[in-house]
Structure 1
């Protein structure tokens, strides 16, 4: 008998059983050992041994006694939620958005750290290190209470090795994030694409919690999608799955940073909204935007356009509605390709939902192949600005909780 293989298989099964029990306590707790054994079909001694291990490592605590069904009252088990923390980092174009959560994914603190203009690889790594060191506070958030760091990085990510293969907003390749941060902080580090972490966060704690097949679309400086199929993120053969921002929408459209023409993000991402606004205003289009930026058109961005729309500016309302139609074409392509139960939209541009949604829904209604396709729910991210960072925390939580 191959004892090494047998021992390895036993350790794996023990780990799977432990994660299953831990997740049951998280979802159904406070819960008794007897109910865990009944619901998992594991033997009572197996459950008792694993629970003892979880109590010893302080992931689980015994709480008040439950109701007796004859005999002595059972002691109930609960997650020791605030014993350990996770740090999630969303690496955006201009800043690091960082959150600290407990084992229930509940935000304890948030932090922001600016990223310098046109950073090189060392700048990105050092900014991450400095930002994370700011989080670790010996009095309030000691490093020893953290079980891991999750990173949501825009662009193409090698998740297995924790490398940012291509970060288009920085024009950087092959940033070894995991290697540097694990060496610096001596804890597990996981790196994933930010649209996927957003989708993961929504799947655990947001508007995707009741569905196995969802798509999360992150619309900000660029556009990316996280594809969740049967409860698992789908990466594709080379981690390219979900790059919806580079789906061609208009063959004669603007040139994209990727070199192609008419990509979705050249028509619907934040910079595209600003560029169209500036072009129209220079041609003499009347708008409140001029007053908001004091005539300095170079200061226009997507947020300025949204602000003017909220003040009733017809030009900006129409511009955002057209942006919604472009997004609707991209989302219709996703619906026809993946047929998800729901599409969740997040990112900075999604804040203009009230002006985007009409164009999105009208486009899907006119282009959807079937009645079901036309009725695919499109909803806003429940987790908002912190969706990608919370999802980065879930990268670590997944190591401990089996769904």
Structure 2
């Protein structure tokens, strides 16, 4: 039995625009069980709550929720009011002012804590991951969107209206494509996974050749950022150029961030970040030539320790931090 020897657990839920990842985590910080769903964004709020409910039941099977679970942490993209447990602007979920704390507490009668996904990931990396030992750390996630979590002086910095760390909305191309946030040329709009896929498809539709066409059997609507990165890893020239440009854009954004905040370390995570040096090489090159000379050798840019599990790990830590 999971609960033998009076073991206690927390549950972390990472809600994203493409997936809901739920994990049962023990008191030693180890993931015991996970479940993953494709987020039913087009089916509406009620369906998303059903998915969360089902995922919690699956990871906690065999446990007594009231006895064995300390609490539930929820991480989600966009500005979050952690005091009231409200997702203020859920652009990728199509759900603003979502009272997640009250909804999930009503379902499970357990304490629930809500945090921005990048802040949650920053907490995990700062406490046990690639940023352990630092005082000033920036976490950047690159996947469906681009977000960030700021640890300044050992504390999460949220800003006056809970919107600090929205790194994805640093503008890197003044007349660039429209972003979901309502602005133009944001780094998220040109370098996230979907944006990388879009730029590759635009070039293919203009008549350029690429192995991507064969990878999706000619169905260009199926091109994803992951497919573009795979094609680049296999030596496809078009994909390589598109990936380089994504890394370049992210490097430019991070240079601006460092020039303002002066952190010790930048930790890069998220699904797209698994591309390794395909992304990190152009990112570092463009970061280095744009950051202030005095900081070029002082700020480390490193991959995350927990990878795509950073946010769900951070969510699972929340009941210990705020309970």
User: Would you say same fold, with TM above 0.5?
Assistant: yes
Query: Where does residue 58 of structure 2 map in the other structure?
Result: 134
Equivalenced residue count is 319
Please give the alpha-carbon distance, in whole angstroms, between the structure 1 residues aligned to 2:226 and 2:298: 29
| Residue-by-residue CA offset, 1:162-186 (whole Å, 9 max, x unaligned) | 0111110122111111111112212
Query: Where does residue 32 of structure 2 map in the other structure?
Result: 108
Query: Where does residue 81 of structure 2 map in the other structure?
Result: 158
Q: Note the aligned Cα RMSD (angstroms).
A: 1.6
Please give the alpha-carbon distance, in whole angstroms, between the structure 2 residues aligned to 1:82 and 1:399: 22
| Residue-by-residue CA offset, 1:232-274 (whole Å, 9 max, x unaligned) | 1000010010111111111111111222111111111111101
Please give the alpha-carbon distance, in whole angstroms, between the structure 2 residues aligned to 1:343 and 1:82: 38
Q: Does 1:230 align with 2:153?
A: yes
Q: Does 1:271 align with 2:194?
A: yes
SS in 2 for 1:239: coil
Query: Where does residue 372 of structure 1 map in the other structure?
Result: 295
Q: 2:309 aligns with which of 365, 382, 386?
A: 386
Please give the alpha-carbon distance, in whole angstroms, between the structure 2 residues aligned to 1:321 and 1:376: 21
Please give the alpha-carbon distance, in whole angstroms, between the structure 2 residues aligned to 1:240 and 1:215: 15
Matches within 5 A, 1:252-331: 252-331=175-254
Please give the alpha-carbon distance, in whole angstroms, between the structure 2 residues aligned to 1:128 and 1:283: 41
**1:374 to partner: Cα distance:** 5.0
Contact 1:216–1:346 (Cα < 8 Å) also in 2: yes
Query: Where does residue 189 of structure 1 map in the other structure?
Result: 112
**1:368 to partner: Cα distance:** 1.4
Q: 1:251 aligns with which of 165, 168, 174?
A: 174
**1:114 to partner: Cα distance:** 2.8
- TM-score, normalisation: structure 1: 0.76
Query: Where does residue 26 of structure 1 map in the other structure?
Result: none
Contact 1:163–1:177 (Cα < 8 Å) also in 2: yes
Please give the alpha-carbon distance, in whole angstroms, between the structure 2 residues aligned to 1:131 and 1:113: 8
Query: Where does residue 95 of structure 1 map in the other structure?
Result: 19
- TM-score, normalisation: structure 2: 0.95
Contact 2:173–2:186 (Cα < 8 Å) also in 1: yes
Query: Considering only CA atoms, is the larger Rg found in Structure 1 or Structure 2?
Result: 1
Please give the alpha-carbon distance, in whole angstroms, between the structure 1 residues aligned to 2:68 and 2:297: 47
Any unmatched runs of 5+ in structure 1? 1-79
Contact 1:81–1:104 (Cα < 8 Å) also in 2: no
SS in 1 for 2:22: strand
Please give the alpha-carbon distance, in whole angstroms, between the structure 2 residues aligned to 1:356 and 1:375: 21
SS in 1 for 2:14: strand
Contact 1:368–1:374 (Cα < 8 Å) also in 2: no
Contact 2:85–2:101 (Cα < 8 Å) also in 1: yes
**1:82 to partner: Cα distance:** 6.8
Please give the alpha-carbon distance, in whole angstroms, between the structure 2 residues aligned to 1:271 and 1:114: 16
**1:81 to partner: Cα distance:** 9.3
CA gap of 1:117–1:189, structure 2 versus 1, over 3 A, is closer
Contact 2:24–2:60 (Cα < 8 Å) also in 1: no
Contact 2:264–2:298 (Cα < 8 Å) also in 1: no
Please give the alpha-carbon distance, in whole angstroms, between the structure 1 residues aligned to 2:312 and 2:12: 5
Question: Comparing both chains, which one has the higher relative contact order based on Cα–Cα distances under 8 Å and sequence gaps of 6 or more?
Answer: 2
Please give the alpha-carbon distance, in whole angstroms, between the structure 1 residues aligned to 2:104 and 2:57: 11
Q: 2:127 aligns with which of 199, 204, 218?
A: 204
**1:373 to partner: Cα distance:** 3.8
Contact 2:23–2:59 (Cα < 8 Å) also in 1: no
Please give the alpha-carbon distance, in whole angstroms, between the structure 1 residues aligned to 2:22 and 2:229: 25
Q: 1:122 aligns with which of 25, 30, 46?
A: 46
